Amino acid sequence: MEKKELKEFIHYLTQGKNISREQRLKVGELLARDYIQKGINATLKNGYVEEQHGFKALSALDTAYFLSQFNNPMGLKYLTHDFDSITDGRPQSIESIYNQVKEVLRKKDYKIPQSLWILINNFLEGKKKWSDTFGVAHDSYLINPMWIDWSNRNNMHPINNSIFAKEIMAFRSTIRLVSPSLKDICEKAKNGLSLNIEEDKLEKADFYTNTYILYVVIKRILLMMSRRGDKYPNVFISFKRNTDAEGRMLRKIIITQKDSYANKSLNDIIDRLAKNNEAGDFGSIRSILNGYCLWQIESIWDGQPLRWNILKTDNMSEIETIEGDSIRGFTHILTYYLV
C-alpha cells in the first residue's frame, strides 16, 4: 500500500462517518499498541531492551529507580528543570545537559521499557516526534539549534523562554503524573463510553511514569468494561498509597466494575496467553504495561475469589486465593513503586 493510500485508510478508520465510536476507540488503541511495541524484537544499542522471543517481564522497580534520575542533578533533572547556581559538575548549558543525559541512557544498570527510552531520547535528540499524555505529537527537542543558540546567547536554560518552556512542561507532564493529571486522564479515557464512574482521591496521584502509556491502558480497560456496561454501568476508580513488606512506597490505581465478575475460565485465559503473548486485551495490556508497574486482577473465577498476578515480582505466585468479601466486582490494580 502506497504511503498516501495508507494515510487515507488510517484517516477513514479513525475519522470515517461509517465507523462507530467504539470501533474508532479500538483502532486508536491498536495503533497506540503498535506504535509502542514497534521494534520490540530488535536489540537497542543502549542495552535497555534485550531481544525478546516470547514474553519477558521487566522490573517495575528498576524503572522506578531509573525515573528517580529526574530528581537527580547528576542524572536527568535538567531535562525538565532550570539550572542550579551550584557549579559542582552539574550541567550549565544545553550541551552539558545532553552529554549527561546520554551518559545516563548508555548505562545498563536498569532495563526499562522501550517506550520510555524512546520518549526520552526523542525529546533529547529529535530524531522522531514524541507523544504527550493524550497522544499529541511534538517535534520539539533539547538540542534544537534554535534552543541552543538562545540558551548560549542568554546563558540560561531554555525553560526561561516562554515558547520553549511550553514544550518542556509538556514533556515533563508526560514523565510525571501530578495533580490533577490522573483525574484528567480518567475523564478523557471515559469519553464516549456508557459508564457511570465514581472517583476517589485521584487528585492525590503524584509519581513518575510514562503518562501516555497510563492513558492508553486506562482507556483500554474502560473500553473493556463498557462492553458489559448495559448490565454493569458502575465503575469505581481510586488512588491509594501504601508500602510493601520491604517498606517500599507504593502508589496504586484501582479500577473496579461493580458487581461484574469473570465470565471465562482463568486457566483458559492463562493457557491462551502462553500460546500467544499478545492474545486479546490481557496480552496487549500486559505488553504495554510491562516494566512500568505491577498488574493484578481480582474477581470471582470459576466460583472462587482469586487474584491473578499478571505483572508481578519474583516472589509472587501467579494466582492467589483471596477473601471473597473483599471483591466488589471485576478489579484491575496497577501498582507503581516510588523510590
**The pLDDT of residue 280 is above 70:** yes
Does 159 fall in a domain? yes
**Lowest mean pLDDT, pick from 46-55, 247-256, 308-317, 328-337:** 46-55
Q: Do 204 and 135 fall within a single domain?
A: no
Q: For strands 304-311 and 249-258, give the pairing.
A: unpaired
Q: Do 251 and 114 fall within a single domain?
A: no
Residues in the chain: 339
* Arithmetic mean of pLDDT, 159-177: 98
What's residue 278's pLDDT? 80
Does 11 fall in a domain? no
pLDDT band with cut points at 50, 70 and 90 for residue 200: very high
pLDDT per residue over 4-62, tens digit each?
455 455 555 555 555 665 565 555 555 554 544 443 333 333 333 333 336 889 999 99
Q: Do 119 and 222 fall within a single domain?
A: no
What's residue 8's pLDDT? 52
Instruction: Please give the residue range of the domain that contains residue 195.
Output: 181-338
For residues 113 and 292, is the Cβ–Cβ distance under 8 A?
yes
Does 256 fall in a domain? yes
* Arithmetic mean of pLDDT, 186-190: 96
Cα separation, 88 vs 309, whole angstroms: 45
Q: Do 158 and 298 fall within a single domain?
A: no
What's residue 45's pLDDT? 34
Does 20 fall in a domain? no
Burial class from Cβ neighbours inside 10 Å (0-12, 13-18, 19+) for residue 89 reads: exposed
Q: Do 187 and 325 fall within a single domain?
A: yes
Q: Do 109 and 243 fall within a single domain?
A: no
Q: Do 141 and 219 fall within a single domain?
A: no
pTM of the prediction?
0.84
Q: Which of 146, 176, 206 is the last residue of a domain?
A: 176
Q: What percent of the chain has pLDDT over 70?
A: 84
Q: Do 259 and 330 fall within a single domain?
A: yes
What's residue 302's pLDDT? 87
Does 286 fall in a domain? yes
What's residue 33's pLDDT? 46
Contacts of 208 (CB under 8 A, 6+ apart): 64, 67, 68, 70, 175, 176, 177
Does 5 fall in a domain? no
Task: Report which of 66, 95, 64, 69 is spatially closest to residue 80, judged by C-alpha positions.
Answer: 69
312: its cell numbers: 508481578
Cα separation, 85 vs 92, whole angstroms: 9
HSE toward the beta carbon, residue 335, CA cutoff 13 A: 19
Q: Do 185 and 312 fall within a single domain?
A: yes
**Lowest mean pLDDT, pick from 44-48, 123-127, 194-198, 286-290:** 44-48
**The pLDDT of residue 313 is above 90:** yes
Cα separation, 244 vs 313, whole angstroms: 11
What's residue 55's pLDDT? 85
Cα separation, 140 vs 171, whole angstroms: 9
pLDDT per residue over 121-163, tens digit each?
999 999 899 999 999 999 999 999 999 999 999 999 999 999 9
What's residue 326's pLDDT? 82
Q: Do 155 and 187 fall within a single domain?
A: no
pLDDT band with cut points at 50, 70 and 90 for residue 110: confident
What's residue 277's pLDDT? 82
Regarding predicted confidence, which is higher, 110 or 133?
A: 133
Cα separation, 41 vs 52, whole angstroms: 5
Does 44 fall in a domain? yes
Burial class from Cβ neighbours inside 10 Å (0-12, 13-18, 19+) for residue 323 reads: exposed
DSSP 326: G
Mean pLDDT of the residues in the chain: 87
DSSP 227-289: TTTTT--EEEEEEEEEE-TT--EEEEEEEEEET----S-HHHHHHHHHH-TT-HHHHHHHHHH
**Lowest mean pLDDT, pick from 19-23, 193-197, 301-305, 317-321:** 19-23
DSSP 41: T
Q: Which of 135, 154, 176 is the last residue of a domain?
A: 176
Q: Do 133 and 64 fall within a single domain?
A: yes
Q: Do 260 and 146 fall within a single domain?
A: no
**The pLDDT of residue 234 is above 90:** yes
Regarding predicted confidence, which is higher, 27 or 79?
A: 79
Does 1 fall in a domain? no
Q: Which of 142, 176, 210 is the last residue of a domain?
A: 176
Number of domains in the chain: 2
What CATH number did the domain enclosing 234 receive? Answer: 3.30.565.10
- Rounded to a whole number, what is the distance in angstroms from the first to the last CA of the chain? 47
